[in-house]
Amino acid sequence: MKRLTLALALLASPAMAATGPFFSLGNTDFVVLLGFLAFVGLLVYLKVPGKLTAMLDARAVAIKADLDEARALREEAKSILATYERRQKEVQEQADRIVSSARDEAMAAAAQAKADLKASIARRLAAATDQIASAEAAAIRQVREQAVSVAIAAAGDVLAKQMTAEAAATSIDDAIAQVADRMH
């Protein structure tokens, strides 16, 4: 089937449509061939293939330079990424150290605060004990003073009931004499 299709395609080509001798200007195929050869000759004369090759070579060089630059940028980006990853790791380690240090300082501060609180409670307890002892001593002193006052008042009442006018005058004279002796 393929051979038949190929044979029919060759029979239907424009080359088979031309009539007459091939090498005459009346034959369109020959004229087209001459025009094509003249065109290719003109292109060769004007050095178009060399220029196309030079342009393609320049383009290849530019592409190679772009690829080299892209490769260099990629390497630089890898280097920068590695630097940033290293810095991130260092910063993370530093942050971990700071957190650990802060935790240790907080524990130490808590222990110090506990010790200070115990000392403060002990001081306040001692101050309260001292105040209680002082209040107790003051109460005892006040009770004694009151007892002395009551005893003096009772003794004064007893003496007033037992004392006569003569004995009172004698007692006053003796007291004045004692004061005079002590003052000189």
pLDDT in tens, 89-142: 999 999 999 999 999 999 999 999 999 999 999 999 999 999 998 988 888 988
CB atoms within 10 A of CB 33: 13
pLDDT in tens, 31-49: 999 999 999 999 999 999 9
Which band of pLDDT confidence, cut at 50, 70 and 90, is reported for residue 7?
low
How many angstroms separate the Cα of 85 from the Cα of each of 52, 71, 91?
48, 21, 10
Q: What is the pLDDT of residue 8?
A: 54
Higher pLDDT, 83 or 146: 83
Classify 18 as helix, strand or coil. coil
The model's pTM is 0.39
Of 177 and 7, which is predicted with more confidence? 177
- Tell me the average pLDDT of the chain: 86
